[in-house]
Structure 1
Amino acid sequence: MLETMKKNNLYLWLITLLGLITSCSQDEPANVLQTNNPGSRVSLTASLPADFAKVETRTVPSAPANHQLRCVLEVWDEDLTVLKVRQEMCTTGTSDLTFEFELTNSGNYKALLWADYMDATASSSPVTIAGLNSVAHYPDKYYTTDGSTGLQAVEMKQGSTTPADCDAFYASKNFTKEASALNDLKVTLTRPLTKLTIAEKDATNFGYFNSMNITFSVPSLLNVATGTVSGSKNWEVKGNANEFDNGKDITIKSSSCKTIFSQYFFAEADGTIGEITMEFTATTASGKKLKTITLPAGIPAKRNYCVNAAGSLLVIEDEPSTVTKITVDIDKDWTSEQEDTDVDPKVGDCYYSDNTWSTTIDKSKTAIGVVYWIDPTNKIKGKIMAKDYVTAQVWGPVGVDESAVGAIGQSIRNETDGSLGTQKLLTQYGSNADFKTKYEVFNQAYEANGSDNSPWYIPSKNELAELYTIYTNNNKILDNTLTSIGGRAFKLNTHWSSTENDANTAFTIAFDDGTLSSRTKSNNQSVRCIRAF
């Protein structure tokens, strides 16, 4: 979150810019517009947002370093086709400013307001904007406001290595001008932005950070008149340590984290942002390589909300080609108490065919299973269970000691890693014509894998016991996710493991009471495959 001074910064500026000073009467505003037709005069003020209603000081805080605040007013006809008035004011905090303008003709109008930060040394020059001549215009810095439709198409222009420089506010107000002067116009300004902060939970890995190149797609245009955003812009956050709020301490869910980056961008009242690709380099001294992380499209981005997300994102790369994908489903009101969410997977999360996961089910993706175990040493890794059972129930032929067969060996009796025995058995028998009938459950695991690089397998004896324990403690959330994605809840019956006991039997676990036993291989028992991610 922004520090208190920065959080209040634009609001307090707007108080002075727009005349919210209690000593200035609305009937006799300061700096009254000099006109030969007093009835044409219009005065506009802005109301203070509710979350700052207790601010009682007129002291104007300092603008960000090397910046001044600009406030823009546009007045359009009712149809938003003819720009009647445009005024721009910039200040470093030494003046109290009020918008005063003339409207000769009675009628219905719409006022648009925009406030953002500019260079401290910027000065205005006369230009033509939206067909209106001789507008005193200050150079646009972070947002373009001087297009052919003015504030009806404010465009994101560039970011800043200090994200708070890009803070901005907007408002619109319909009003009717009668024959007499109009002095009671009031509007409430708010942010058209979301602030995204991504943080690292692992302090050790954050210590390896050297630089980043973050890319994602965001809305490019804001229509101040309607509050809608549109268009798409490829946004890049490219910087080193201490830029884009990098390295700032932030507490998320009672955990001390380090900010990787923060950024402001346009958002709908309830929208999402595009895929975020996060490339990192580590310091030379560390001798490490860091993985590329991809946050898929669909992260919530709500206007006037902060999204504070923490995860184990700076991960040491085992192989240069490794890519990890993470799904985020988080939101946080900008002005209420902090509500933060991890980006790490959780037990009960839905897992998709594109190797992403989320707590809230994304129906646009293909769900293949449910996260049930998280690696305590690397919290973006774990295991998932298939969303449904295989239809086969026979383990394999009776009387065959698989541990003595060629490529299979003792791996079929491995008690901790079912993938070893499963894959060795598939390698040995997968091409045999009778494999489908003699090794039904293994064949169905084989067929489910196809060309996948992270294959499904039948859990070993110990993995099945672990799955039983986790399910017993989390059965409601696991069953709920399974059924929500079109799968089946767990059966409270006996399940096969991949671990052979002897030539005639293999180990099973009863999911009603956790009993471990060995059953004849030709028996019919349930099988639910698992896989690592």
Structure 2
Amino acid sequence: MGLIAVACSNEEITDSSGPTVSSVQISATLPQETPLTRALPIMEGYKLRCILEVWTQGDTPTLKHRQEITALKGEASFVFDFELTETGNYDCLMWADYVAENAKTQNLELDGYTYMHYEDRFYSTTQNLKQVTIKDTKDAGLFNNDACDAFYDKFVLEKAGETYKSTAELARPFSKLIIKEKNLDAYKTCSQMLVSYKVPSGFDVGAEAPLSEESIIEWTRTDMTNTPADDCTLFSNYIFATSNQTSLGNIDLTFTIGDDIRDITIPAGVPIIRNTRIIANGALISDQIFEGDITLSFDFSTDWEKDIDAGDPMEEKPHVGSFYYKDGTWSKEYKGTDDNPAIGIIFALKNDANSTCKDDTKANYPDITFAEEEIQGWVVALQDAIDSQQAIITQELTAEYGINPYEGGKIPDVAGFKNTNIYIAIDASKDTAPITGLKTFKEQNATPKNTSGWYIPAGSQMEELLKVYAQKPSGEVAELTYNIVGSQLKELQNLQQAQLLQAANYWSSSTATSNNKIWPRRFVTSKSESYGNSGTNGKTDCPASLRLILTF
């Protein structure tokens, strides 16, 4: 026996007296944070359609009702009236999207239930709302078109009596990706663009998640010379997304510039988050391409839940092992020039939860203003500051100097910049070789503005460096097995632009206690099982080499 009887559409409703006996009335509205609830934008050639499906719960759910209605012009709400005679809990799925203003209708059957269907435009809905899919992946209408916007909701209908009345608020299943060219002159030279990339092929309203399958969408844009003079948007697209951040794969672009065909790839990593606009702005048409991630900053909007400024999709994010250049830039692949040579290798990043760099703060660098207004990481110099091992100071230290202790990692110390300034003050009248070497190195090796400049690494900083420089040997070895930083230094050494660490000892600016006295702490870099160990032998002439670092 049938449990549900279909009612009329919004366009046909004339009786507003409310639900009748054994009836259900469900109202649906678009998100309150969007201007659509104040005044629905008139999409020329389109009207807004809403679909409701009611399913039984359990291991084998059954479709009990499906209904499609369209909104009156300029309205952004829907009212569904239908009969449901059996009490119980039901899963209700809703989907609202744009269809053609003159969309054809036909009666279709789904799981034995017959309903009136408006012809789909951008998303196929006829399988059911658990499988809403992109209708045509080569449809030009998927790009630069706000009529691709859509909304959904899932809720439980708890029918305990003869009537039920409720209101549902729909939400977007999308992230909106917007890619812009930052160079207006370059944009004007481009007559055609081909874009291609993978996206989730659909959305499961029941699971409130994108389908696991992916499809390649592509578009050939031929109207670039007809766009407004100040609009450098290359393309925008609505992408099914989760509430947790995920990322796209490579985005392939082909630009036609006169007789020149230029292929560009935006590297994988563009972030995607539901109900968020991702805005990426880069010199895509004109400049060379770099590998790397996207740096995000949040800017809240009154339209979507929030905007994310994805910055330049070609701008490279720093990595451990990146080459660090004289002008304060970096790259994973070596790009040094005579005018802008590499001056170091990035060996630690503050955003790495497993690195002691996370404990570094701006308070350790009084009067230093960093380029990003926050510490990003540490860089090791390409050469030693002194040619041979020397004693860093001719006498033991005292606690009054305020140099931090470093007890084998038990008491971390990342204040190398502060410690170094103390050493310089202590050494003012002694002119020991390491401190003299430090001063000379700083004079001869300029560093970018908005960095700390060169200083002696503290114990935790030295430990972090040796961890990414080489693997700890098992017994004596002829050659260390280099990790990422050691490998990068070796690459530059082969170009006669860098020097590997000597197989000996290196100073830190932290201290250790020996024979009830405080001494500078050294780290072992020999090709043996002692590699990475630290300590002091408690002698006034205890020598070591010196490799400086900077903070950017």
CA positional deviation for 1:499: 7.8
2:241 aligned residue (254, 267, 271): 267
- Offset from partner CA, 1:287-310 (integer Å, 9 cap, x none): 6553512321x3221100000111
Asked whether 1:135 is paired with 2:135, we answer: no
Q: 1:273 to 1:115 in 2, by over 3 A?
A: same
Say if 1:155 and 1:338 are closer, same or farther in 2 by CA, change over 3 A. Answer: closer
Distance 1:279 1:53 in 2: 33
1:204 partner SS: helix
1:237 aligns with 2:218: yes
Conserved 8 A contact 2:175-2:275: yes
Q: Which residue of 2 aligns with 1:152?
A: 130
Q: What is the CA deviation profile of residues 201-223 of structure 1, one whole-angstrom value per residue up to 9, with x for unaligned ones?
A: 11122122222222222222311
Tell me the CA shift for residue 65 of structure 1.
2.5
Point out where structure 1 has 5 or more consecutive residues left out of the alignment. Answer: 1-16, 250-255, 318-322, 352-366, 398-460, 491-495, 501-511, 513-522, 529-533
Q: Hey, what's the Cα distance between the residues in 2 that align with 1:114 and 1:202?
A: 39
The aligned residue for residue 312 of structure 2 is: 343
Q: Which residue of 2 aligns with 1:203?
A: 184
User: Secondary structure of the residue that 2:90 maps to in structure 1?
Assistant: strand
CA–CA distance in 2 between the matches of 1:238 and 1:167?
18
Secondary structure of 2:452's partner? helix
Write the deviation string for residues 269-317 of structure 1: whole angstroms up to 9, x where unpaired. Answer: 0132332333222332xx6553512321x32211000001111211257
Residues 31 and 98, structure 1, Cα contact 8 Å, conserved in 2: no
Measure, in 2, the Cα distance between the counterparts of 1:301 and 1:474: 39
Q: 1:71 to 1:525 in 2, by over 3 A?
A: same
Give the one of 283, 286, 302 matched to 2:257: 283
Question: Does the Cα contact within 8 Å between 2:92 and 2:155 map onto a contact in 1?
Answer: yes
Alpha-carbon distance in 2 for matches of 1:485, 1:193: 45
Q: Name the CA distance, whole Å, in 2 between partners of 1:465 and 1:213.
A: 46
For residues 85 and 212 of structure 1, what CA distance do their matches in structure 2 show? 45
Cα 1:525–1:208 shift into 2, 3 Å: farther
Alpha-carbon distance, 1:525 to partner:
5.8
Q: 1:370 to 1:46 in 2, by over 3 A?
A: farther
Note the 1:104-119 alignment, pairs <5 A.
104-119=85-100
Residue 308 of structure 1 corresponds to which residue in structure 2? 279
Distance 1:313 1:261, change over 3 A: same
Give % identity: 21
1:18 Cα deviation after fit: 7.4
Q: Distance in 1 between matches of 2:466 and 2:179?
A: 29
Cα 1:108–1:394 shift into 2, 3 Å: closer
Amino acid at match of 2:265: I
* Distance of 1:108 and 1:88 partners within structure 2: 22
Indicate whether 1:295 and 2:267 are aligned: yes
Kindly tell me: are residues 472 and 248 of structure 1, through their superposed partners in 2, closer, same or farther at Cα, counting changes over 3 Å?
A: farther
* CA distance in 1 between partners of 2:72 and 2:385 (Å): 79
- What letter corresponds to residue 68 of structure 2 in structure 1? E
Partner of 2:195: 214
Say whether 1:328 aligns with 2:291: no
Evaluate the alpha carbon distance shift between residue 54 and residue 73 of structure 1 in structure 2; reply closer, same or farther with a 3 A threshold. Answer: closer
Cα offset for 1:267? 0.2
Query: Retained in 1: the 8 A contact 2:447–2:454?
Result: no
Which residue among 120, 145, 151 is the counterpart of 1:163? 145
CA distance in structure 2 between the partners assigned to 1:499 and 1:303 by the alignment: 47
Q: Distance in 2 between matches of 1:344 and 1:371?
A: 20
Q: Give the 3 Å change call, closer, same or farther, for CA 335–277 of structure 1 in structure 2.
A: closer
Task: Please give the alpha-carbon distance, in whole angstroms, between the structure 2 residues aligned to 1:486 and 1:122.
Answer: 65
The 5-angstrom pairing of residues 109-508 of structure 1 reads 109-129=90-110, 131-147=111-127, 150-158=128-136, 159=139, 160=141, 161-183=143-165, 185-242=166-223, 247=227, 258-284=232-258, 288=260, 290-296=262-268, 298-315=269-286, 324-330=290-296, 335=304, 340-343=309-312, 349-351=317-319, 367-369=320-322, 385-388=344-347, 465-467=445-447, 469=449, 471-472=451-452, 487=468
In structure 2, C-alpha distance between the alignment counterparts of 1:55 and 1:45, rounded to whole Å = 13
Q: Counterpart in 2 of 1:30?
A: 16
Equivalent residue letter for 1:72: I
How big is each residue's C-alpha offset from its partner over 1:171-219, in whole Å with a ceiling of 9 and x where there is no partner? Answer: 0110211232112x11111100000011111112212222222222222
Per the TM alignment, residue 94 of structure 1 is displaced from its structure 2 partner at its CA by 8.0
**Distance in 1, Cα, partners of 2:445 & 2:227:** 42
TM-score, length basis structure 2: 0.56
What is the rounded CA distance, in whole Å, between the counterparts of 2:466 and 2:117 in structure 1? Answer: 55
Q: Which residue of 1 aligns with 2:48?
A: 69
The equivalent residue for 2:537 is none
Contact 2:23 2:82 (C-alpha < 8 Å) held by counterparts = yes
Kindly provide the amino acid, as one letter, of the partner of residue 276 in structure 1.
Answer: N
Q: Deviations over 1:132-166 (max 9, x none)?
A: 3321112222111111xx11121122351442121
Contact 2:240–2:274 under 8 Å retained in 1: yes
Tell me how far 1:326 sits from its aligned partner: 4.2
Structure 2 Cα separation of the partners of residues 126 and 485 of structure 1: 71
The answer to whether the 8 Å contact 1:290/1:316 transfers is no
CA distance in 2, matches of 1:485, 1:29: 79
Give the Cα–Cα distance (whole angstroms) in 1 for the partners of residues 262 and 444 of structure 2.
Answer: 33
5 Å-filtered alignment, 1:514-533, equals: 526=547
Note if contact 1:76-1:109 (Cα within 8 Å) is conserved in structure 2: yes
Alignment-mate amino acid for residue 123 of structure 2: Y
For residue 238 of structure 1, what is the amino acid of its counterpart?
W
Query: How far does residue 39 in structure 1 lie from its aligned partner after superposition?
Result: 2.6
AA at the equivalent of 1:84? K
Choose 172-181 or 100-109, whichever is displaced more: 172-181
Report the counterpart of residue 68 of structure 2 in structure 1.
Answer: 88
Counterpart residue type for residue 265 of structure 1: I
Query: Which one-letter code corresponds to 1:49 in the other structure?
Result: P
RMSD, aligned CA: 4.7
Change (3 A) 1:182 1:219: same
| Distance (Å, rounded) in 2 between the aligned partners of 1:216 and 1:469 | 39
SS of 2:103 mapped into structure 1: coil
Shift of 1:82: 0.4
